[in-house]
Amino acid sequence: MHTTKIFIKKNKIGNYLKHAREHYIRDDIYCGFEICDKCTRATTSLSSKHVNKCGLIKNNHYLILDTNVILDQIDVLEENLIGNVIILNTVLKEVKHRNMPIYKRLISIIENPSRHFYIFINDYNKGTYLKQELTELINDYNDRCIRKACSWYIEHIPDENFVLLTEDKNNRRIAQEENIPAYSSKYNIQGVIIVIIRGYSNLNRVIDGDVVAIEVFDKDQWVSPSELVLEDDTINALDDNLERKELEISKQRTLKKNIKPTGRIVGIIKRKWRQYCGILQEGSAAVYHLFLPADRKIPKIRIETRQAETLKTQKIIVAIDSWPRIPISQRSYYNRNKSF
Ligand SMILES: [Zn+2]
């Protein structure tokens, strides 16, 4: 079965030309669920063993993302917490069109089978394909296609829960009217992981990438991220007392409005130590030296070596072997030098 897509395009010399493109609708596109007995099987990364849970949606569920969620939350999506995500082809094309670097990051998540992301070719599937109305804007059309795919999944796999995440209020409202559970990503993905950890001791010897257990502090200790970098220079520069007070009040208001949870790391569930590339810090003496990793998210590492003189002029690779509860840095061993 096929349908014909007709669109008008302006050519180089300014004439409008009518183009027609054949669009083949298929009935053999796999939904990605192993339990499904209606579709022709293909490979899938979706897994019934992976569990997505959050405060708002108690039951395990599969996520369908709108384009804006991917564009805004790619950092969060790259974390290993969320899985069983269905990426509709409509959304994938829109992400590619709007932001190539984010598209590439998304593809590398999808290509990692342990993340359980699945591309569903909704725009070529008989049950989910929709024809764009003549007066319909592309954005409205894409939203309609996304909602259609959600309803289709809800009906196709009735034993599972599906949740649409979208930052678009209108799309969310219409989806809810069509009985599709729809939320803003703030309720689902953001709330789960953003906790500000202040101070070295609260970091509890964690290294970027470790999976940790966090204790969230009481609300009166929460801070605004801008509070951490706010300078008082503007306030001091003002002579007028009243003006200064007003500025302080508005500053407090902004801070209150944007407060985020704070907490401390109480335990490390899984270490993700790897090898780090960097250089020896200048001025070190004797057997113990400080190693400066090239990655600024990694702290300085104390290493033991008698070859400091030779190593000082080279880039080296270091692996951490232990991190005892003593101040300054970790103990570790020099691994090998890296030639560049
Ligand atoms: Zn199926």
pLDDT over 70 percentage in the chain: 78
Q: How far is the CA of 82 from the centre of ligand 1 (A)?
A: 22
pLDDT digits (tens, 9 = 90+) for 297-323: 888 888 888 888 888 888 898 888 777
pLDDT digits (tens, 9 = 90+) for 141-153: 999 999 999 999 9
Q: How far is the CA of 31 from the centre of ligand 1 (A)?
A: 4
Minimum mean pLDDT range among 18-22, 120-124, 138-142, 143-147: 18-22
340 pLDDT band (50/70/90 cuts)?
very low
Predicted pLDDT at 300: 85
Structure tokens at 123: 């725009």
14: three-class secondary structure by DSSP: coil
Q: How far is the CA of 85 from the centre of ligand 1 (A)?
A: 15
Q: How far is the CA of 229 from the centre of ligand 1 (A)?
A: 51
Q: Is the pLDDT of residue 187 over 70?
A: no
Q: Is the pLDDT of residue 238 over 50?
A: no
Q: How far is the CA of 209 from the centre of ligand 1 (A)?
A: 36
- Across the range 120-134, mean pLDDT stands at 94
Contact 194, 214 (CB under 8 A): no
Q: Is the pLDDT of residue 76 over 90?
A: no
Structure tokens at 198: 């202040």
What kind and span of H or E run contains 10?
Answer: strand 2-10
Q: Is the pLDDT of residue 237 over 90?
A: no
Minimum mean pLDDT range among 12-16, 21-25, 281-285: 281-285
Kindly calculate the radius of gyration of the chain based on its CA atoms and give it in whole angstroms: 27
d(CA 224, CA 214): 18
Task: Kindly indicate whether the domain formed by 275-338 is annotated with CATH number 3.40.190.10.
Answer: no
Q: Is the pLDDT of residue 197 over 80?
A: no
Residue 113 zone, left/alpha/beta (φ > 0; ψ -120 to 50; rest): alpha
Q: How far is the CA of 28 from the centre of ligand 1 (A)?
A: 9
Q: Global pTM?
A: 0.57
Q: How far is the CA of 62 from the centre of ligand 1 (A)?
A: 14
d(CA 108, CA 75): 13
Arithmetic mean of pLDDT over the chain: 81
What kind and span of H or E run contains 317?
Answer: strand 315-322
For residue 314, CA distances in Å to 89, 208, 307, 340 come to 48, 25, 11, 9
Predicted pLDDT at 332: 52
145: three-class secondary structure by DSSP: helix
pLDDT over 90 percentage in the chain: 36
Q: How far is the CA of 156 from the centre of ligand 1 (A)?
A: 6
Angle (deg, nearest 10), helices 138-156 and 89-98: 150
Predicted pLDDT at 240: 56
Contact 66, 92 (CB under 8 A): no
Q: Is the pLDDT of residue 92 over 80?
A: yes
- Across the range 198-222, mean pLDDT stands at 75
Query: For residue 248, how far is the Cα from the chain centroid?
Result: 35
Q: Which fold has domain 30-192?
A: Rossmann fold (3.40.50)
Instruction: Please state the domain extents for the chain.
Output: 30-192, 196-270, 275-338
186 pLDDT band (50/70/90 cuts)?
low
Q: How far is the CA of 41 from the centre of ligand 1 (A)?
A: 8
Predicted pLDDT at 231: 41
